[in-house]
Amino acid sequence: MTPAYLTAPGYLLGEIEQDHHEIPGFAARAREYGMQPDARLWGWGKVHRTEKPLEELVIETGKTVIAAGGRDTGTGKPVVGPADVDFLVLCSTQFPGDAHTHGRFMETVMSGLGLDCGFLGLTLNRCTNLVTGLGVAEAFVRAGTYRTVLVITADRCATESARMENFALFSDGAAGCLVTAQPGDYEILGSAGAQDNRALDWHNDISADLSRQVNDSLLTRHGLTPGDLAGVLHTNLYLPIVVMKERLAGFTLGQLDTANTARTGHCFAADPLINLADRRTEPGGYYLLAASVPGSRAAMLLHQPTTATS
């Protein structure tokens, strides 16, 4: 089976940065949720808003990822260009319009990226969309169906009143990377997911049991335990929630990556890749991209080679 690698993680945040207290209705929402007004407790900080359409976020992010796809050490020429991308996996919790407008939307995206390949849209997995999409791309590469897959997720709040929820402050943004058969930044060791159909409703809690199921499925096959991971790159939910759920899943506080909770907010499905792109990873280290929503958990296990491969 063909090996698979994740390379060139990159992201784009909304161009308008504002403090959490500048969110319309913020104080009233906090009172409604019974939340103590303590920014350090929750990880309240900055949020990022965009006035750009979703397709522009996708195009800008994709261009950044492709440009960072690596250069030949001898010639300095790009190893990956638009012509080398065989397939696009595009994720969003809500694509604009409907079937009547989606064709034009994708025409804009593909033309803007300079791509001439097939594509797949992924949306129903909510904030696990990206990690799930990465797993799809991995499967394509391992099967030999495609050699280089561009994976992008992009989202923006439909209304400013939806920017604050009882589990996170939402930011607009996008993130992407390449999943390829060519050795790159991280070797993909595998992907796994678990779900409870009875708990998929929005109002249910995130399940640590599902996270433990994914750990058992994904880590055990490689002879690893949760303690062997150098880092867990999870979604940027409020600190008490994410710390409690990930620690119940078997991880330690030192393995969690909470630095971006206040800096970037919760960028829908993009958080794990944003956190990976910002982290100073260690050669030989194992890292877990992970995302949870009520009723579902998705994860991808990465290993950073001990020597440079790109």
- Summarize pLDDT for 119-143 with one digit per residue, the tens: 999 999 999 999 999 999 999 999 9
DSSP SS3 for 291: strand
- Parts of the chain belonging to CATH 3.40.47.10: 5-180, 186-303
What is the maximum span of the chain, computed from C-alpha positions, in angstroms?
A: 60
Provide the 8-state DSSP code for 268.
G
pLDDT at 1: 84
DSSP SS3 for 287: strand
pTM for the structure as a whole: 0.95
Question: The tokens 């409907």 sit on which residue?
Answer: 98
Segments of the chain scoring below 70 in pLDDT:
70-79, 308-310
186-303: CATH number: 3.40.47.10
Question: Which CATH class for the 5-180 domain?
Answer: alpha beta
In the chain, how many H helices and how many E strands?
9, 11
pLDDT at 297: 98
